[in-house]
Amino acid sequence: MPDMRKRFLPVVLLALCLALTGCYDGLSKKRIVSLVHENHREIEQAIESGNAKDWNGKKGIRDVTLHDHGFVEFFCAGAGMGPNTSYYGFYYSPDGVPYDFWGGNEPLTETKNGWKWQEEQGDNTFYTEQITDTFYYYEYHF
């Protein structure tokens, strides 16, 4: 029996480590906001010159997605697994207005610090707040 425990314990520890590393991966809100404040001019120049994708993999940005109407999403973090997943990042808004590009541009409700959308018959939410004139922080919770 002791031999079986010696084999079982490393397997359990490995599974636990893999599960925990999958729960949160990326930058915090504070770091995302700092990243934008420190780099917004360079990022905006890259967007205007058609090189936004060059920021893929830089300074904690994990993915850059070009959306309709000039919106550019910078994905920085993900947390959770399956139906309890959250995504965090920032986006460029060419007109300086908040926009829910994942939710089909559902109407946003103004909150104390930003804007929010809540699914009527579910628990999906989107939250955004302005960082600069053209950059916004975002959170999606599914």
Residue-range domain boundaries for the chain: 23-141
Please count the CA atoms within 13 angstroms of the CA of 43 that sit on its side-chain side. 25
Amino acid, res. 127: Y
How far is the C-alpha of 60 from the C-alpha of 92, rounded, in Å? 16
pLDDT tens string for the chain (142 positions)?
455 555 544 444 434 333 433 444 678 999 999 999 999 999 999 999 999 999 999 999 999 999 988 999 999 999 887 778 899 999 999 999 999 877 666 789 999 999 999 888 878 899 999 999 999 999 999 8
CB-CB contact of 84 with 125 (8 Å): no
Q: How many residues does the chain have?
A: 142
- What is the spatial distance between Cα 104 and Cα 8, in angstroms, rounded to a whole number? 47
pTM listed for this prediction? 0.80
